[in-house]
């Protein structure tokens, strides 16, 4: 694990919000940008990564260095230096260890823990820029095990929290935020998945859950290069109404009265309830990803969505989330900086 630069958990606490869907899109876009990536499926009882990354039926083999992860055929285009397409996406999942995909995994906690230990300690992952952990719902054995096994030397770089606009899902995410803070896991940001439905006929995005937008809290100006419209006169700390979307350094006043620095903020006066949740708990809002039925169908059949659904608004949204996520990662080295630049270029061409 020491040879992996960024170990990132994808969490939610709630099932069915699209953690696996988002994890796979994230590793695919990272691989396309030229990063060496892997995806570790920690959902022991409900593994889905093999189907989504096209590794179903590819066996996991043992070597002198431990298990050797399966290589996804959807490895990305690479960037000419052996990254991405040259190395492929490394994946490991209980689904690749089962003789029959219909076989149920009926294991108690100790056996789950032992399996996750092998995933982390007895698997030859090699040198990677990013290893994405797709986690199951909840805050139990799998989550506690991965945090404990990684230890202080190889602690996760942070966690991405995924939720849908439903208040039921957001209520559960609040508990996941509490879990991360108790375990000392940095929250890299909050992603709003299924934020609208993409019409397959016209590509218009409509609200799928009947959620209502809310008015954004006022921002206190700290440092900004964008155009603003002053809401009052006076020097220092005056309230402003933000009028353009950009990345700025600001201090946001949360619901609890505390302030925080954002890597990226939404710059609309009207925000979603998920954005309001991010402000309330003082964590970055990375963006929203709509539900595209064409993309979902392609992923269910194991297709390479970056080729079959290149024009999907959901893919564009994931690239936007990735660009914001890379800004939030501390200690960026040259390889990750190259991936960030490639992701930005890919986003500009979308």
| Domain coordinates in residue numbering, the chain | 4-193+283-329, 214-261
Residue 289 pLDDT exceeds 70: yes
Model confidence at 13, pLDDT cuts 50, 70, 90, reads confident
Question: What value does the mean pLDDT take over residues 177-195?
Answer: 93
pLDDT level of residue 145 (50, 70, 90 thresholds): confident
Question: So what's the pLDDT on residue 255?
Answer: 41
Work out the pLDDT band at 40, boundaries 50, 70, 90.
very high
Q: Given a cut of 70, is residue 262 above it in pLDDT?
A: no
Kindly write down the DSSP assignment for every residue of 123-158, as one continuous string: B---SEEEEEEEPPSSSSHHHHHHHHHHTTTT--SE
What is the H or E stretch that residue 172 is in?
A: helix 167-183
- In the predicted model, is pLDDT for residue 149 greater than 50? yes
d(CA 11, CA 173): 9
pLDDT-derived band of residue 216, with 50, 70 and 90 as boundaries? low
The pLDDT, as a whole number, for residue 153 is: 57
* pTM of the entire predicted model: 0.76
Write down the pLDDT at residue 212.
59
pLDDT score at 321? 93
Provide the CATH number for the domain formed by 4-193+283-329 in this structure: 3.40.50.300
Q: What is the pLDDT of residue 176?
A: 93
Cα Rg of the chain (Å, integer): 20
């Amino acid at each position: 694990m020491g040879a992996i630069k960024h170990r990132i958990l994808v969490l939610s606490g709630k099932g069915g919000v699209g953690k696996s869907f988002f994890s796979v899109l994230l590793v695919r876009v990272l691989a396309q940008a030229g990063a060496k990536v892997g995806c570790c499926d920690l959902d022991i009882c409900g593994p889905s990564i093999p189907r989504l990354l096209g590794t179903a039926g590819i066996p996991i083999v043992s070597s002198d260095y431990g298990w050797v992860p399966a290589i996804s055929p959807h490895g990305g285009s690479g960037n000419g230096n052996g990254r991405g397409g040259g190395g492929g996406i490394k994946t490991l999942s209980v689904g690749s260890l089962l003789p029959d995909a219909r076989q149920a995994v009926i294991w108690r906690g100790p056996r789950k823990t032992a399996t996750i230990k092998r995933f982390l300690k007895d698997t030859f992952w090699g040198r990677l820029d990013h290893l994405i952990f797709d986690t199951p719902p909840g805050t139990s054995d799998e989550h506690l095990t991965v945090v404990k096994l990684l230890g202080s030397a190889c602690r996760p770089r942070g966690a991405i929290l995924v939720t849908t606009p439903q208040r039921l899902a957001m209520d559960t995410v609040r508990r996941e935020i509490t879990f991360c803070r108790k375990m000392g896991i940095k929250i890299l940001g909050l992603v709003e998945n299924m934020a609208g439905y993409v019409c397959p006929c016209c590509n218009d995005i409509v609200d799928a859950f009947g959620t209502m937008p809310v008015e954004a809290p006022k921002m206190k100006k700290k440092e900004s290069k964008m155009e603003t419209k002053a809401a009052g006169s006076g020097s220092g700390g005056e309230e402003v109404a933000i009028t353009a979307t950009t990345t700025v350094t600001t201090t946001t006043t949360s619901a609890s009265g505390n302030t925080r620095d954002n890597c990226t903020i939404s710059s609309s006066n009207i925000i979603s309830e998920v954005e309001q949740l991010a402000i309330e708990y003082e964590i970055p809002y990375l963006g929203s990803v709509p539900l595209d039925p064409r993309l979902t169908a392609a992923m269910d059949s194991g297709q390479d969505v970056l080729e079959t659904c290149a024009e999907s608004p959901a893919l564009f949204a994931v690239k936007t989330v990735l660009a914001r996520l890379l800004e939030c990662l501390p200690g960026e080295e040259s390889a990750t900086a190259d991936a960030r630049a490639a992701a930005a270029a890919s986003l500009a061409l979308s």
